Chain A
Amino acid sequence: MNHSLSPETTDQALAPGERLPRSQRTEFSPEAIAEIHAIAASYPDKLAATLPALHIAQREFGFVSLDAMKAVARALSIPEAHVFGVASFYTMYQKKPVGKFHLQVCTNICCALSGGAEFLEKVCEKTGCKPGGGPSPDGLWSVEEAECLASCGSAPVMQVNADVYDENLDEARLAEIMKACERGEYREWAK
């Protein structure tokens, strides 16, 4: 599993061991820090809060940048390398910015048998995005080819952000969903 990462927010190259000045670091809000500490306290070991903290980072910052990973490491007082290793392993942590509406289309075998592959082509055509290729020029859409979402009996299926799945999809339903997104009936990414 290799993921390309977006560069740090600052342009300046850091020497080995050099840290960004505090004022330039990406930091969690105090509420988010409190939330992370509460989660860490509920587990026998604070390391277990790495995954939940990364979910919170994604919610707070929109995606999990290198800076966000460092913020997680600081919040939990765990090694940055550990957070990087975890964040790069799991595909749900977006390492690059995504659109306001991140469309995850399943194309695994059951969906494909019901037209999931053609549906993904339609989604790409309508949004002007490529799977995993970043947001559309207007920043509204991004598309991801997802592996089985566990909705095989009602395929094809798509998940908009983290919303309840949309099932039994076709082109007409896609147009409806995209309109509903534009009308604000779906929660925006990381909101």
Chain B
Amino acid sequence: MATFRTKPDHQRYTFEGFGSEKYPNLMLRGAGDLNNWPMATYVAKHEGYMAAKKALQMEPVAVTEEVKTSGIRGRGGAGFPAGLKWSFMPKDSSDRKFTRYVVCNGDEGEPGTFKDRAILEYNPHQLIEGMIIAGWAMQCQTGFIYIRGEFLWLIEKLEYAIQEARDAGYLGKDILGTGWDFDLIVHRGAGAYICGEETALLNSLEGRRGEPRVKPPFPAAKGAFGQPTTINNVETLAAVPAILRMGGAEYAKLGRPKNTGTRVFCLSGHVKRPGLYELPLGLPLDFIMNDLGGGSSTGRKIKAVIPGGSSAPVFSEQEFGTLMDFDSVRDAGSMAGSGGIIMLDEDTCMVQACLRLIRFYAHESCGQCTPCREGCNWMEMILHRIEHGHGRLADLELLESITPNIAGKTLCPLGDAACGPMDSMLKKFHLEFEHHITHKTCLVSGHQLLANVGGH
């Protein structure tokens, strides 16, 4: 057997009590064990392909119903109910037959998020099984797995795993005697954050520039190669085998009403025990930060937390008690997004943090919509000016006036994503911005967040 990763993995995947009834382990089985990924282990130790066998004996509509019952919401960022999404796919009628596709979004690139990687590294078969079940439920002909270009070693592993599944008869022609043909194609991206947006991903899959499309038509009507398509995140699809195994109703008991199941939270930044924590939805943020993460790694107080990947507006101390599920985080003024929790201690300069994030969005804006392309660049330039001591007090009003002209005025949510951190940081840490302008230096003494190497 080929060896795909020999370097030790520094990530933390478990915590005390993980795998118990209270904190079930559905997504990270065997994570950390570099020999966990082959099919033999998946079948022997992790109930591998049981769910696919069960699903293929059910009616496709019944499988979609099961996923609907589970209430699972998309784990990629938007939190849209996956079962409902599946049910939007058109069905064959006597006068019209469709070619349908299912696409897996593995373009993980949201700063603060590193969960899909772990699934691809340790449980690629769980994703493949999820794709088979999704493919059966929607009666798709082909599944595409779009993986970001940097994950070359994971792509090689996934392709090996797909071949294993083909050899075992789970992919290819007449799967398990049902007469249904289905195969998977892995598509490697080439370094564009925007391709995580579903229609940009479809363009990239079709071999075009990764520019988001005008919606409608939505992908369920006209997606990849002009055919009905459903796009789900890696984590969503990898959760499907667990849903089928335990039953949708049982899965729905995990978490909170309308926010069911477990999700993999990615803890990073100034935290003592960074890593992946698979938890039922709806646990308080401070429990995750302190009881599981061990609190601040620097010994200094945590002043801000980004609760759902860099696109989510920041939380300051009074919101640390928020329950971490889609609705509660939204009600608290942010978004649960991709589950990346980034902790910032009190010595972190928020102007620098904000500039670093906005620089990212300005760099990754595809350039298609003027408000995002120009707006993000302007925000970056103004923040750059403030950071380097040339700011004026009027700049703060200027920044405030830019965001309403971006948010909601673009084809895709990248513009909104840039406005989230910008608005919230400016509002909640206004004093730091003002201090930067009047004193030409940081209010706090944390270490440099921007490299001084003559780039940009």
Q: Are A48 and B206 in contact (CB under 8 A)?
A: yes
Interface residues of A in 98-124 (CB under 8 A from B): 104, 107-110, 112-118, 120-121, 124
Q: A52-B188, A91-B191, A164-B5 are in contact. Are A113 and B207 (CB under 8 A)?
A: no
Q: Are A107 and B268 in contact (CB under 8 A)?
A: no
Cβ–Cβ < 8 Å partners of B431 in chain A = none
CB-nearest residue of chain B to A76: B207
A-B contact count (CB 8 A): 189
Q: Are B342 and A47 in contact (CB under 8 A)?
A: no
Q: Are B208 and A117 in contact (CB under 8 A)?
A: no
Q: Are A109 and B353 in contact (CB under 8 A)?
A: yes
Q: A90-B191, A113-B348, A147-B193 are in contact. Are A49 and B207 (CB under 8 A)?
A: yes
Kindly state the separation between the CA atoms of A149 and B11 in the bound complex, as whole angstroms. Answer: 14
Q: Interface digits, B435-456 against A, CB 8 Å rule (1 contact, 0 not)?
A: 0000000000001111111110
**At the interface, yes or no: A178 with Cβ under 8 Å from chain B?**
no
Which residue of A51, A110, A116, A120 is within 8 Å of B342 (Cβ)? A110
Segment of B21-29, B40-48, B55-63, B360-368 engaged in the interface with chain A: B360-368
Q: Are A153 and B208 in contact (CB under 8 A)?
A: no
Q: Are B153 and A164 in contact (CB under 8 A)?
A: yes
Segment of B67-75, B106-114, B169-177, B398-406 engaged in the interface with chain A: B106-114
Kindly state the separation between the CA atoms of A163 and B156 in the bound complex, as whole angstroms. Answer: 12
Kindly state the separation between the CA atoms of A25 and B267 in the bound complex, as whole angstroms. Answer: 51
Distance (whole angstroms) from the CB of A146 to the closest CB of chain B: 8
- Chain A contact residues, majority secondary structure: mixed
Q: Are B453 and A162 in contact (CB under 8 A)?
A: no
Q: A130-B453, A147-B363 are in contact. Are A115 and B152 (CB under 8 A)?
A: no
Q: A51-B204, A152-B112 are in contact. Are A159 and B150 (CB under 8 A)?
A: yes
Kindly state the separation between the CA atoms of A89 and B190 in the bound complex, as whole angstroms. Answer: 9
Q: Are B367 and A109 in contact (CB under 8 A)?
A: no
Q: A89-B209, A131-B453, A151-B114 are in contact. Are A109 and B12 (CB under 8 A)?
A: no
Q: Are A152 and B188 in contact (CB under 8 A)?
A: no
Cβ–Cβ < 8 Å partners of A147 in chain B = 109, 111, 193, 360, 363-364
**At the interface, yes or no: A61 with Cβ under 8 Å from chain B?**
no
Cβ–Cβ < 8 Å partners of B453 in chain A = 120-121, 124, 130-131, 145
Q: Are B10 and A148 in contact (CB under 8 A)?
A: no
Cβ–Cβ < 8 Å partners of A117 in chain B = 447-452
Cβ–Cβ < 8 Å partners of B31 in chain A = none
Q: Are B114 and A150 in contact (CB under 8 A)?
A: yes
Cβ–Cβ < 8 Å partners of A139 in chain B = none
Which residue of A51, A118, A145 is within 8 Å of B447 (Cβ)? A118
Which residue of A48, A132, A155, A164 is within 8 Å of B268 (Cβ)? A155
Which residue of B109, B117, B153 is within 8 Å of A163 (Cβ)? B153
Kindly state the separation between the CA atoms of A50 and B366 in the bound complex, as whole angstroms. Answer: 18
Q: Are A154 and B274 in contact (CB under 8 A)?
A: yes
Distance (whole angstroms) from the CB of B147 to the closest CB of chain A: 11
Distance (whole angstroms) from the CB of A78 to the closest CB of chain B: 8
Q: Are B207 and A42 in contact (CB under 8 A)?
A: no
Q: Are B275 and A153 in contact (CB under 8 A)?
A: yes
**At the interface, yes or no: B340 with Cβ under 8 Å from chain A?**
yes
Q: Are B11 and A154 in contact (CB under 8 A)?
A: yes
Q: Are A145 and B192 in contact (CB under 8 A)?
A: no
Q: Return the 7 tightest CB-CB contacts between A and B, nearest first.
A: A50-B207, A92-B191, A90-B190, A152-B268, A153-B274, A117-B451, A112-B449
Q: A92-B149, A108-B360, A110-B269 are in contact. List 15 more A-B contacts (CB 8 A).
A: A1-B367, A44-B142, A50-B207, A51-B187, A51-B188, A86-B209, A110-B268, A113-B348, A114-B269, A120-B453, A124-B453, A131-B455, A145-B455, A150-B117, A151-B117
Query: Which residues of B pack against A, CB within 8 Å?
Result: 5, 7, 10-12, 99, 108-114, 116-117, 142, 148-153, 185, 187-193, 204-210, 225, 227, 266-270, 274-276, 306, 310, 340, 342, 344, 348, 353, 356-357, 360, 363-364, 366-367, 447-455
